[in-house]
């Protein structure tokens, strides 16, 4: 919805009871979005950031991105400047026409369509020069083609006034919305200009529109405009902003013949029921929320989680990011429920309701880095992102198996496809649930944080042949099961990688605000030398830019770094093309470093990823000779690190042609050859070892032996697992090893009978990173079968006698967290990288407590960005600190830093 000026937030905008000519509908666009139907509104994201996000969106199952208005608007830092058009040229705070077109094309590759926010009810309220330089006055817009005769003057004497009577349809449609010049959509000239703008967007591949302030335009006029567009681009989608108001002259139902309607009563009802009486159960039973409540029919409803207006209204008219877990639960409900086409909202935090997204001094929007500069990235929350797949799987399945606990506890199924239970209460909800799911073992996707669909690291539930299962759901929590998320009943290994992961780290000292840095190259993955299709890098500091992508093994390519100004001017780095051939071995991780303009000085380093690891292991038995935990793929290397050929230009004599330093979009690529990656092992000297003592409590029978299996100890092969010893009956099983400092590994204990039968302990893998200080002594305590109960004690050992130390290959980070805990609670650290458990609480790193300050020192990969949070854990209860995620980028290898904070 349009909110216009400082201190003005419109609480309702509605429309007129006007019929189409001859009483019939003039136009009906495509009756539904193509599956998958979930839309995500990336509010105020610039085009480069949206394009970079589409690989994630596509993999998560999002079908569409709703982007902010792409046309020229008035200048200013406020967000609502986007909703005051100056012209229809595609230059805005978020980027250029070329960047917009590249975004559309890029997202389409990942099956994600673009829905553009279209503003054509009105223009501006004053005069000046637009963001792209177009002059205007309130009733004259030469760049758009509008003159004073193309506007409404509702007073009948050639003057206009603001809307002041929502019981009068004429007033709503023909007067001005908070002083904004109101376009006369009944005029053929105005209709054609608007239609041409929409056609232009569709010509670039846009699939549909959100029609801003549709309530303030006559529905018949919209129908004519859509018909003009449909004659060239049939089947586009539109969702119209029409807010309901009781007793008002203009109602949402009047617009269902011209498109979908945003049903604002859905998020406002969810707000009321989640925060008070009658409670969330009443959203489902006895009468489910929807058409029976007077809402528009589900087939034409766009159910939004929130938007830029609802979160800024005073008070808010939807739940917002500030509502924490209730906001997450409301999204789970929206995506599980069977009403309308859902839109997930993802914006940024603000203290001033007028504040626009983070931007440079020239007004252009900064690139998005989740967790930084206020960007919330709520759409990436595992609970929300995983529910997108649930929604897609449920399809049109009806509500079934509705069960209520308290008024704030509700569970329901979607036929035989899925089942969800939401506990919005302050107490635990424990019961046996009845479902229509097929019998089997299911992964709870609300708590599954792995991105691998074949692996579950969340809780699992077994649904009986009669469709029942038992669960205990904590306060403000939920669970969701669906048929596409069965839990593995045995230990499985993710499939071996078939690509090489390449990270480009580029230093550029010559950028100015608004510049972007990209890679253009000779293969399609780099745009085939087309600057408009080049790959954008993300800025991590004032001079550092980076991007990570996957390429085929053994792929030879040439490339150059280009600098693109905010106005679209392209500057190619000088010198010969950079050349590189990816390693032949899939699964390797390569970092290519270089400096803009110095193509002869690039470097490359290659490392192995963590070995493939088992997940979802049950306490079942298997033969030691046949139970295999590691991939047999050639990517399961035992070498700790590799070095690769340089990322630099080949010798001048071998380069046939190079990219020009001009802004030309076309040039021939060189045909020279380049050597591939060469690899050498880099073992850790024994003098820098860390002593690790395993101490495991386990129930064993006569002849049983406890062993430890790991990705680093026998590559998960039980036959190569290391036996522990038990000095006396009922004593702990122990084993002492020496391991490299700063070494991340995963492990599990196995029980091997005298006949060779192997029993793996259940639960997720245990994870640990050895201290970075050489000579440390670590004891890892555990209980067989309870992988979440691991703890550790670290003692600094004697300083090694040798002074011939190998330089550290990691960055040491000490996390120091002040936290008030209850009796029995411990504080743990969990985050977005392997070393921090990939957001799985069961794999979180335990901190040590000293007078209320919890700390741990970890060896982490250098120059690596990650997000993290602290959690309080007692038994199986996990309390997350409040949003947003914390973010950090490690320094160079050998560095040491302490991050101090307080539990939020």
- Give the pLDDT band of residue 646 (cuts 50, 70, 90): low
Alpha-carbon distances of 503 from 261, 357, 519, 542, 903, rounded to whole Å: 43, 28, 12, 18, 33
Superfamily holding 398-482: Golgi alpha-mannosidase II (2.60.40.1180)
**Tens-place pLDDT, residues 37-82:** 899 999 999 999 999 999 999 999 999 999 999 999 999 999 999 9
Work out the average pLDDT over 780-793. 64
**Tens-place pLDDT, residues 787-806:** 654 555 554 433 322 222 23
Beta-ladder partners of 9: none
**Tens-place pLDDT, residues 189-207:** 999 999 999 999 999 999 9
What is residue 274's DSSP assignment?
Answer: H
Alpha-carbon distances of 256 from 27, 184, 236, 301, 752, rounded to whole Å: 11, 22, 15, 9, 67
Work out the average pLDDT over 141-168. 97
Angle at 664 between CA 658 and CA 668, to 5 degrees: 35
Q: Tell me: domain 684-806, CATH 1.10.490.10, correct?
A: no
* Strand segments (E) across 188-236: 208-211
**Tens-place pLDDT, residues 232-248:** 999 999 999 999 999 99
The 3-state DSSP class for residue 828 equals strand
- Give the pLDDT band of residue 568 (cuts 50, 70, 90): confident
HEC assignment per residue over 43-111? CCCCHHHHHHHHHHHHHHCCCEEEECCCCCECCCCEHHHHHCECCCCCCECCECHHHHHHHHHHHHHCC
Which residues neighbour 457 within 8 Å (Cβ) at sequence distance 6 or greater?
448, 449, 450, 615, 616, 764, 838, 840, 842, 843
What is residue 661's DSSP assignment?
Answer: S
- Give the pLDDT band of residue 340 (cuts 50, 70, 90): very high
126 within 8 A of 4, measured Cβ to Cβ: no
Which residues neighbour 507 within 8 Å (Cβ) at sequence distance 6 or greater?
543, 544, 545, 593, 594, 595, 596
Task: Note the pLDDT of residue 649.
Answer: 60
Peptide bond into 315 cis (omega under 30): yes
Which residues neighbour 555 within 8 Å (Cβ) at sequence distance 6 or greater?
500, 523, 581, 582
List, as one string, the DSSP characters of 756-811.
Answer: -EEEEPPBSPEEEE--SSTT-EEEEEEETTEEEEEEEEEE--PPPS---PPPP-SE
543 within 8 A of 682, measured Cβ to Cβ: no
The helix (run of H) or strand (run of E) holding residue 188 is helix 188-203
* Rounded distance between C-alpha atoms, residue 385 and residue 462, angstroms: 23
* Rounded distance between C-alpha atoms, residue 301 and residue 290, angstroms: 9
Work out the average pLDDT over 531-535. 85
Q: Pick 737 or 665 by higher pLDDT.
A: 737
Task: Note the pLDDT of residue 91.
Answer: 96
* Token reading at 362: 């020239």
- Give the pLDDT band of residue 514 (cuts 50, 70, 90): confident
Task: Note the pLDDT of residue 763.
Answer: 74
Q: Which of 455-459, 609-613, 687-691 has the highest mean pLDDT?
A: 455-459
- Comparing 500-619+632-654 with 684-806, is the CATH topology the same? yes
In this predicted structure, the answer to whether residue 135 has a pLDDT above a threshold of 80 is yes
Q: Which of 317-331, 366-380, 566-580 has the highest mean pLDDT?
A: 317-331
Beta-carbon count within 10 A of 48 CB: 24
Q: Which of 212, 219, 477, 817 is flagged as catalytic? A: 212
Closest CA to 459 of 79, 898, 878: 878
In this predicted structure, the answer to whether residue 3 has a pLDDT above a threshold of 90 is no
Q: Pick 210 or 668 by higher pLDDT.
A: 210
In this predicted structure, the answer to whether residue 359 has a pLDDT above a threshold of 60 is yes
**Least trusted range by pLDDT, from 211-220, 300-309, 418-427, 707-716:** 707-716
50 within 8 A of 42, measured Cβ to Cβ: yes
Task: Note the pLDDT of residue 323.
Answer: 94
213 within 8 A of 2, measured Cβ to Cβ: yes
* Rounded distance between C-alpha atoms, residue 250 and residue 215, angstroms: 7
* Token reading at 193: 């200009």
* Token reading at 659: 């990219």
**Least trusted range by pLDDT, from 434-438, 507-511, 640-644, 869-873:** 640-644
Percent of the chain whose predicted confidence (pLDDT) is above 70: 81
In this predicted structure, the answer to whether residue 873 has a pLDDT above a threshold of 50 is yes
- Output the CA torsion sign for 620, 624, 629, 631: negative
Peptide bond into 286 cis (omega under 30): yes
- Give the pLDDT band of residue 755 (cuts 50, 70, 90): confident
Q: Pick 456 or 764 by higher pLDDT.
A: 456
* Rounded distance between C-alpha atoms, residue 229 and residue 200, angstroms: 10
In this predicted structure, the answer to whether residue 25 has a pLDDT above a threshold of 50 is no
In this predicted structure, the answer to whether residue 684 has a pLDDT above a threshold of 70 is no
**Tens-place pLDDT, residues 463-488:** 999 999 999 999 999 999 998 766 64
* Rounded distance between C-alpha atoms, residue 162 and residue 154, angstroms: 9
Beta-carbon count within 10 A of 888 CB: 17
The question of whether 212 is a catalytic residue gets the answer: yes
- Largest Cα span, the chain: 102
Residue found by looking up tokens 């690989």 in the block:
55
In this predicted structure, the answer to whether residue 660 has a pLDDT above a threshold of 60 is no
Burial readout 318-340 (b: 16 or more C-beta within 10 A, e: otherwise): bbbbebebbbbbbbbbbbbbbbb
- Give the pLDDT band of residue 859 (cuts 50, 70, 90): confident
Q: pTM of this prediction?
A: 0.57
Task: Note the pLDDT of residue 407.
Answer: 96
Beta-carbon count within 10 A of 726 CB: 16
In this predicted structure, the answer to whether residue 596 has a pLDDT above a threshold of 60 is yes
* Rounded distance between C-alpha atoms, residue 409 and residue 281, angstroms: 6
Work out the average pLDDT over 753-757. 83
In this predicted structure, the answer to whether residue 18 has a pLDDT above a threshold of 60 is no
Q: Which of 44, 72, 219, 241 is flagged as catalytic? A: 241
Extents of the domains making up the chain: 21-393, 398-482, 500-619+632-654, 684-806, 808-904
Mean pLDDT taken over the chain: 81
**Least trusted range by pLDDT, from 488-502, 828-842, 882-896:** 488-502
Under CATH, which number does the domain 808-904 receive? 2.60.40.10
* Rounded distance between C-alpha atoms, residue 123 and residue 121, angstroms: 7
**Tens-place pLDDT, residues 119-132:** 999 999 999 999 99
Q: Tell me: domain 21-393, CATH 3.20.20.80, correct?
A: yes
Closest CA to 743 of 660, 809, 698, 832: 809
Task: Note the pLDDT of residue 876.
Answer: 66
In this predicted structure, the answer to whether residue 303 has a pLDDT above a threshold of 70 is yes
Closest CA to 222 of 176, 248, 183: 183
HEC assignment per residue over 397-459? CCEEEEEECCCCEEEEEECCCEEEEEECCCCCEEEEEECCCCCEEEECHHHCCCCCCCCCCCC
What is residue 262's DSSP assignment?
Answer: E
Under CATH, which number does the domain 500-619+632-654 receive? 2.60.40.10
Task: Note the pLDDT of residue 35.
Answer: 64
Peptide bond into 155 cis (omega under 30): no
In this predicted structure, the answer to whether residue 406 has a pLDDT above a threshold of 90 is yes
Task: Note the pLDDT of residue 657.
Answer: 30
């Amino acid at each position: 919805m349009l909110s216009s000026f400082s201190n003005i937030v419109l609480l309702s905008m509605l429309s007129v009871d006007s019929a189409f000519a001859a009483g019939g509908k003039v136009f009906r666009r495509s009756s539904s979005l193509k599956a998958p139907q979930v839309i995500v509104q990336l509010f105020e994201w610039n085009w480069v950031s949206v394009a970079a996000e589409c690989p994630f969106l596509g993999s998560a199952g999002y079908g569409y991105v709703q982007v902010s208005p792409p046309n020229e608007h008035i200048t200013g830092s406020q967000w609502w400047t986007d909703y005051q058009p100056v012209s229809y040229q595609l230059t805005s705070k978020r980027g250029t026409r070329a960047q917009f077109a590249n975004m559309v094309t890029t997202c389409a590759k990942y099956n994600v369509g673009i829905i553009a926010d279209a503003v054509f009810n009105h223009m501006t309220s004053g005069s000046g020069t637009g963001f792209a330089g177009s002059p205007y006055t309130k009733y004259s817009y030469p760049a758009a083609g509008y003159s004073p005769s193309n506007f409404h003057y509702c007073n009948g004497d050639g003057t206009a006034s603001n809307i002041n009577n929502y019981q009068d349809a004429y007033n709503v449609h023909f007067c001005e919305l908070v002083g904004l010049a109101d376009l006369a959509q009944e005029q053929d000239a105005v209709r054609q200009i608007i239609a041409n703008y929409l056609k232009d967007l569709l010509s670039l591949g846009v699939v549909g529109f959100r029609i801003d302030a549709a309530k303030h335009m006559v529905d018949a006029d919209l129908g004519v405009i859509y018909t003009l567009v449909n004659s060239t681009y049939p089947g586009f989608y539109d969702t119209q902003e029409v807010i309901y108001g009781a007793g008002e002259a203009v109602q949402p139902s009047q617009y269902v013949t011209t498109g979908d309607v945003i049903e604002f009563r859905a998020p406002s009802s969810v707000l009321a029921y989640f925060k008070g009486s009658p409670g969330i159960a009443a959203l489902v039973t006895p009468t489910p929320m929807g058409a029976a409540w007077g809402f528009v029919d589900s087939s034409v409803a766009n159910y939004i989680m929130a938007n830029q207006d609802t979160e800024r209204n005073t008070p808010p008219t939807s739940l917002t990011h500030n509502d924490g877990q209730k906001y997450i639960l409301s999204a789970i409900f929206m995506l599980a429920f069977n009403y309308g086409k859902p839109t997930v909202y993802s914006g940024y935090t603000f203290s001033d309701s007028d504040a626009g997204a983070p931007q440079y001094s020239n007004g252009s929007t900064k690139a998005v880095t989740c967790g930084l500069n206020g960007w919330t990235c709520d759409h990436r929350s595992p609970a929300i992102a995983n529910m997108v797949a649930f929604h897609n799987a449920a399809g049109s399945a009806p509500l079934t198996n509705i069960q209520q606990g308290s008024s704030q506890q509700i569970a329901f199924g979607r036929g035989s496809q899925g089942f969800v239970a939401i506990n919005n209460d302050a107490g635990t909800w424990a019961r046996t649930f009845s479902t229509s799911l097929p019998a089997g073992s299911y992964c709870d996707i609300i708590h599954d944080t792995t991105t691998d669909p074949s692996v579950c690291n969340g809780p699992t539930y077994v649904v009986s042949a009669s469709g029942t299962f038992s669960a205990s759901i904590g306060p403000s929590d939920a669970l969701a099961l669906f048929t596409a998320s069965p839990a593995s009943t045995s230990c499985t290994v993710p499939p071996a990688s078939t690509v090489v992961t390449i990270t480009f780290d580029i230093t550029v000292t010559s950028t100015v605000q608004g510049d972007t840095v990209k890679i253009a190259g000779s293969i399609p993955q780099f745009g085939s030398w087309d600057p408009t299709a080049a790959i954008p890098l993300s800025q991590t500091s004032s001079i550092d830019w980076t991007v990570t992508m996957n390429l085929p093994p053994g792929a030879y390519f040439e490339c150059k770094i280009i600098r693109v100004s905010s106005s679209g001017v392209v500057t190619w780095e000088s010198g010969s093309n950079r050349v590189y051939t990816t390693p032949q071995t899939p699964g390797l991780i390569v970092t290519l470093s270089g400096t803009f303009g110095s193509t002869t000085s690039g470097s490359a380093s290659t490392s192995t990823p963590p070995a493939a690891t088992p997940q979802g292991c049950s306490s079942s038995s298997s033969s030691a000779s046949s139970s295999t935990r590691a991939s047999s793929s050639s990517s399961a290397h035992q070498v700790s690190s590799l070095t690769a050929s340089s990322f630099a230009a080949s010798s001048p004599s071998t380069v046939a042609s190079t990219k020009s330093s001009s802004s030309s979009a076309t040039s021939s690529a060189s045909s020279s050859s380049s050597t591939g990656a060469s690899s050498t092992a880099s073992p850790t000297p024994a003098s820098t070892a860390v002593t690790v003592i395993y101490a495991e409590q386990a129930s064993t029978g006569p002849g049983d032996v406890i062993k430890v299996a790991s990705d680093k100890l026998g590559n998960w092969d039980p036959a190569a697992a290391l036996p522990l010893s038990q000095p006396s009956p009922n004593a702990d099983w122990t084993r002492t090893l020496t391991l490299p400092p700063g070494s991340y590994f995963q492990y599990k204990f196995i029980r091997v009978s005298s006949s060779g039968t192997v029993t793996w302990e259940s639960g997720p893998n245990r994870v640990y990173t050895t201290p970075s200080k050489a000579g440390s002594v670590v004891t890892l305590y555990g209980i067989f079968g309870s992988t979440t109960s691991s703890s550790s004690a670290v003692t600094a050992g004697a300083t090694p006698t040798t002074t011939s130390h190998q330089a550290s290959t990691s960055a040491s980070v000490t996390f120091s967290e002040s936290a008030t805990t209850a009796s029995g609670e411990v504080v743990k650290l969990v985050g977005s990288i392997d070393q921090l458990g990939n957001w799985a609480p069961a794999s979180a790193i335990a901190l040590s407590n000293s007078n209320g300050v919890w700390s741990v020192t970890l060896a982490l990969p250098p120059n690596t960005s990650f997000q993290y949070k602290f959690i309080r854990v007692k038994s199986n209860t996990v309390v997350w600190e409040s949003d947003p995620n914390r973010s950090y980028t490690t320094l160079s290898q050998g560095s040491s830093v302490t991050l101090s904070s307080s539990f939020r």
